Structure 1
């Protein structure tokens, strides 16, 4: 059985791989961007379709799983991507993928 590490360091490492992908122009970029924006502010920026995991490379899907596992294990309550040091990058992702949406979280 494969185990995915879901601690703080693993979550930050996963984000350092996911963010550049979300800012790129590849077939997986939109799906990763949708995941990150759903985490940031799903009601305003849209939701992430779980079935989109099927269209991702396994390493990318594992990075998303790492983030989900980290969020699910937190005893601190809600954790957003900006608290992990990626607010500016999220603004860039939102500007790239949601030109009509306000770039703020709920």
Structure 2
């Protein structure tokens, strides 16, 4: 999938989730866990669906939209132009995975 094939709804939901993941709340951690499972589940950890029980309804809806996007895209988020944003989430929530150059 090319970035221009994302719907406006998908783009908005993904960008809201990326913004949530920049925070330092319990919901931010849950959103980051979800996003990082798409980025690299092997290195960053899988996403337990029961984690969604602890997010508010608007965030849960965005999670659903982005799950559908990830399934439809059949690719990783960096191919959609979101590599730097996901790398920032890794730095914030999985700093042990960041390689120093």
TM score, norm. by length of structure 1: 0.80
- What CA distance in whole angstroms lies between the structure 2 residues aligned with 1:18 and 1:100? 22
Aligned partner (choices 79, 83, 88) of residue 79 of structure 2: 83
TM-align CA RMSD? 1.6
Would you identify which runs of 4 or more consecutive aligned residues in structure 1 move more than 6 Å?
none
Q: Which has the higher helix share?
A: 2
Residue 20 (structure 2) pairs with residue 15 (structure 1) = no
Other-structure match for 1:63: 62
Contact 1:12–1:84 (Cα < 8 Å) also in 2: no
Per-residue deviation, residues 45-84 of structure 1 (Å, max 9, x unmatched): 1111100111000000000100112233x2x6x2211122
TM score, norm. by length of structure 2: 0.84
- Secondary structure of 2:96's counterpart equals coil
The count of corresponding residues between Structure 1 and Structure 2 is: 94
- What CA distance in whole angstroms lies between the structure 2 residues aligned with 1:11 and 1:84? 11
Deviation, structure 1 residue 102: 4.5
5+ residue gaps, structure 1: 1-6
- What CA distance in whole angstroms lies between the structure 2 residues aligned with 1:88 and 1:58? 27
Other-structure match for 2:28: 29
Other-structure match for 1:54: 53
Other-structure match for 1:45: 44
